Amino acid sequence: MHLRRSQNMSLPRIVIVDYGTGNLNSVKRTLDRLRVTCVVSPHARDIADADKIILPGVGHFGRAMLRLKELGLVDALNEAVLDRRTPILGICLGMEVMAKASEEGDTPGLGWLDAEAVRFKISDTGRYKVPHMGWNEVRIKKDSRLMAGVSELSEFYFAHSYHLRINDPSDLLNETEYEAPFPSAVEKGNVFGVQYHPEKSHDAGSQVLKNFIEM
């Protein structure tokens, strides 16, 4: 069933993209608690009609990209994000697929970011485990509406084995330390991505989602 436009045209149309990855319902439940009207959809038409797009995801990079192609969503996302400049927020795997490529599979990513997803390379395996799971601090590296009201060194919840290696430092929004620093959020124009899970990160995470919806 396709998303219908609200009778109140002042309400933004929020689409959570369903491409067969995990964590969709957690994101929707958090938005429901924030009293944000949203729809989970695998349909290109709904993406075309969206005012804001959320691309969540827990899973395998290569399989996620293949599923996006099978559903006909790659062209729909490119048109929305690159042509119409629709704001999009990628969460965890949803941020990683915005890169050009990943060490997890040989399928190209969406290519919106000059970046690659790489697996953690840990030296002190007694102290740092892969996947990186649990709470960790983020440093805010530039001004952004996405981080309004979020304090420096706020803690967010992480669950991932891969992270982005970005080639354009201006895209870096948050940085987190896990033996070495890695990008935990990016921003490039209307493209936003967070490696952490705001839907599982209590007040700080809810604030990030609220900021995105209210842009």
Token reading at 34: 């924030």
How does strand 172-178 pair with strand 191-194?
unpaired
Task: Specify the DSSP class assigned to residue 214.
Answer: T
pLDDT at 5 > cutoff 60 = no
Query: pLDDT value at position 80?
Result: 98
Question: Can you list the domains of the chain with their CATH numbers?
Answer: 14-213 (3.40.50.880)
Sign, CA dihedral 69-173-145-93, equals: positive
- Among candidate residues 96, 104, 187, 199, the one labeled active-site is 199
- Among candidate residues 38, 92, 160, 163, the one labeled active-site is 92
* Cβ contacts of 159 within 8 Å, gap of 6 or more: 58, 92, 131, 132, 133, 197
pLDDT at 6 > cutoff 60 = no
Catalytic, 92? Answer yes
Query: pLDDT value at position 155?
Result: 98
Average pLDDT of span 157-175: 98
Task: List C-alpha distances in Å: 76 to 3, 17, 21, 83, 191.
Answer: 15, 11, 18, 10, 15
Contact 205, 33 (CB under 8 A): no
Residue 132: how many other CB atoms lie within 10 Å: 21
- Among candidate residues 43, 160, 163, 197, the one labeled active-site is 197
Catalytic, 197? Answer yes
pLDDT at 7 > cutoff 50 = no
Query: b/e map of 17-34 (b: 16 or more CB within 10 Å)?
Result: bbbebebbeebbebbeee
* Banded pLDDT at 55 (limits 50, 70, 90): very high
* Distance in angstroms (rounded) separating the CA atoms of residues 188 and 203: 25
Whether a cis peptide bond, with omega within 30° of 0, leads into 131 is yes
Backbone angles phi, psi at 90, to 5 degrees: -95, 135
Q: Report the candidate in 40, 30, 20, 42 with the shortest Cα–Cα distance to residue 207.
A: 30
Catalytic, 199? Answer yes
Q: pLDDT tens-digit profile of 106-152?
A: 999 999 999 999 999 999 999 999 999 999 999 999 999 999 999 99
Amino acid at 196: Y
Residue 54: how many other CB atoms lie within 10 Å: 27
Please give the distance of CA 115 from its chain centroid, rounded to a whole number: 14
